[in-house]
Structure 1
Amino acid sequence: MRLHVGCAQWTHQAWPQPSRSKLEWYASWCNAVESNTTFYATPSRSAVANWAEQTPSDFRFVVKLPQLITHERRLSGVEVELRAFLSAIEPLAERNHAVWIQLPASFSPTDLGTLAAFLHYAPRGYRYAVEVRHPAFFDDAVAAGQLERVLGRVQAEWIPFDTGTLFGRRPTSYAERDAWMKKPRVVRRTRALTAFPIVRYIGRDSVAETIEGWTYLVDLVVNWLGEGRSPTIFLHTPDNVEALNLARRFYADVRAVLPDLAPLPEPVELDPPTLF
């Protein structure tokens, strides 16, 4: 059994600020991270190699494709850019859990041919996971089935972004209002297509509400692990201030049901303050 948990980032202004590498410190709290920075630009190989050096071999990155590929070119005519990106992330080796293809909300069922062609010609040897946001994929069983068939041909996963808890009641803070404006309001999805399901879950400012909302997800992960799958769960809140603690709490909730699940590493202590 293998469960990975993590956050949307490995550093946050509200989190403790270690003098050592922030990524190294984060990797003592969680065993996975969403690599959102790659959405804005392809990183250098040296930067990626540095990420690998700062994390243990069982740590996992889910690396997002650059917006040039997914949003600007919409997966068309991007062979050169895709290969350049995959070359850049090679130093991650086994730490590269999946290449994350987050598509814009305007990418609809009529665009599935483009996605199918992209996945067909994408270099093998990588695991691909797709996040769609167009409502039709969640409201129309035919469209959902078509997407599942496209993904199934190349053993790619469908990444759901579970916003049910966030939209459970009206926002009560600026961060929640901002999340209401930006996050997709779609039907909850609980079906895994591969042995490596990935779920992005966002709660609320309230820790208690966030924990209450993931009860179904704990049960789902327990079932997936029992089926021999290796899920990865990313915990978000509107401001992500408590995301680190929540990721560990989620793991603990699963482990309370499955005590044979290996524990997360113990967080390293912050360096003591110096006089100079």
Structure 2
Amino acid sequence: MKFGKLQNIESVDFTLPVDPVGNAALLASFPKDEQPMAVYVGCTGWSMKEWIGRWYPKGTKIKDFLSVYAKQFNTIELNTTHYRIPDPDLVAKWCSQVPDDFRFCPKLPQTISHSKNLGLGGDQLPFFWEALDNFGEKLGSCFMQLPPYYGIDRLPQLAQFLSVWPKDFPLAVEFRHESWFAATANITEWTEVLTRYGTTVVLTDVAGRRDVLHQHLTNQQTMIRFVGNGLHPTDYDRIHAWVRQLAAWKELGLKTVYFFPHEPDNILAPDLAHYLVQYLHETTSITTRGPDPISTGPQQGDQILLF
């Protein structure tokens, strides 16, 4: 993930923003239930030969990568759908290789998210909805990454898009253009629209664009895209802060979290995912499952695993 990456992070303030006042009121507006918070932790792909011997057993074949990945993680940021809408047979094959608690988070095709009209009136949206239906209960939250040039002046178009998006398919939207965060009034405007349609807003924690880490919630679900810096010590400090934030949101009524750690080339992403899950279990009442290393020798990410 190159968006917002910096070569030098020494001057970056990685402190999480103060929790917006509206989050507590929003979560309080939903009916109370006893269901525990569901936390899904995953990476952006399963085809990583570099994980063999560390996260995948030695000798793992390429054809078995997904099934092995799904034993380590319970979700995936499914980027392949950004470039091609999968046919029913491929989706069925994917779903057959993962356990019942696994959730796919398909990225919207660029023919939709990067088109002039977000696919409205064309054939790509219905085609994609058909594909999503094939995931069944293993569908997590879809994810639409708006292009960097898509500004808040196009909010009416986005609202129209959300009004036709099927309610059976949870959706998260990531804003990148600076205008979405340029003024309090702008934030108020889009949070109202996304809340109205039950749409999640993505929180992106990346060094070079601290404005996209806005901390606003728009329903009982959040999606966090965390961009690390090669397991720099600040990566672990930031994880500590996120665990405290998730624990606070859990008490307020947040129900679902999708957390996707990114690292350079994603080779070290499982190390950070492992640390996140271990720290959650060690310091909070939140439970989930995450990767456990297969190898026992010292690794780059092990030096700070004692907390």
TM-score (norm 2): 0.76
Alignment map for 1:108-123 (pairs within 5 Å): 108-123=151-166
Offset of 1:265 from its aligned partner?
7.2
Consecutive unaligned residues of structure 2, counting only runs of 5 or more, are 1-35, 296-307
Distance 1:243 1:78, change over 3 A: farther
Aligned to 1:197: 222
Offset of 1:244 from its aligned partner?
1.3
8 Å CA contact 1:162, 1:189 repeated in 2: no
1:153 aligns with 2:196: yes
Amino acid at match of 2:178: P
Alpha-carbon separation, structure 2, partners of 1:85 and 1:113: 22
Match of 2:64 among 14, 18, 21: 21
8 Å CA contact 1:104, 1:133 repeated in 2: yes
Alignment map for 1:116-265 (pairs within 5 Å): 116-164=159-207, 167=208, 186-228=211-253, 229-259=255-285, 261-264=287-290
Residues 152-182 of structure 1: per-residue CA shift (max 9 Å, x gap): 1111000121103xx4xxxxxxxxxxxxxxx
Offset of 1:76 from its aligned partner?
4.4
Distance 1:134 1:262, change over 3 A: closer
Alpha-carbon separation, structure 1, partners of 2:261 and 2:201: 17
Give the 3-state SS of the residue equivalent to 1:97 in structure 2.
Answer: coil
Consecutive unaligned residues of structure 1, counting only runs of 5 or more, are 168-183, 270-276
1:49 aligns with 2:75: no
Offset of 1:186 from its aligned partner?
3.0
Offset of 1:267 from its aligned partner?
7.1
Alpha-carbon separation, structure 1, partners of 2:164 and 2:122: 9
Aligned to 2:18: none
Alpha-carbon separation, structure 2, partners of 1:90 and 1:267: 34
8 Å CA contact 1:203, 1:213 repeated in 2: no
Give the 3-state SS of the residue equivalent to 1:190 in structure 2.
Answer: coil
Alpha-carbon separation, structure 2, partners of 1:25 and 1:56: 11
Amino acid at match of 1:47: L
Alpha-carbon separation, structure 2, partners of 1:155 and 1:14: 38
Offset of 1:45 from its aligned partner?
1.1
Percent identity between the two aligned chains:
28
How big is the alpha-carbon RMSD for the aligned residues of Structure 1 and Structure 2?
2.1
1:3 aligns with 2:39: yes
Alpha-carbon separation, structure 2, partners of 1:263 and 1:125: 25
Aligned to 1:173: none
Q: What count of residue pairs does the alignment treat as equivalent?
A: 251
Aligned to 1:175: none
Alpha-carbon separation, structure 2, partners of 1:226 and 1:254: 14
Give the 3-state SS of the residue equivalent to 2:140 in structure 1.
Answer: strand
Distance 1:158 1:260, change over 3 A: closer
8 Å CA contact 2:45, 2:78 repeated in 1: yes
Give the 3-state SS of the residue equivalent to 1:89 in structure 2.
Answer: helix
Alpha-carbon separation, structure 2, partners of 1:127 and 1:185: 26
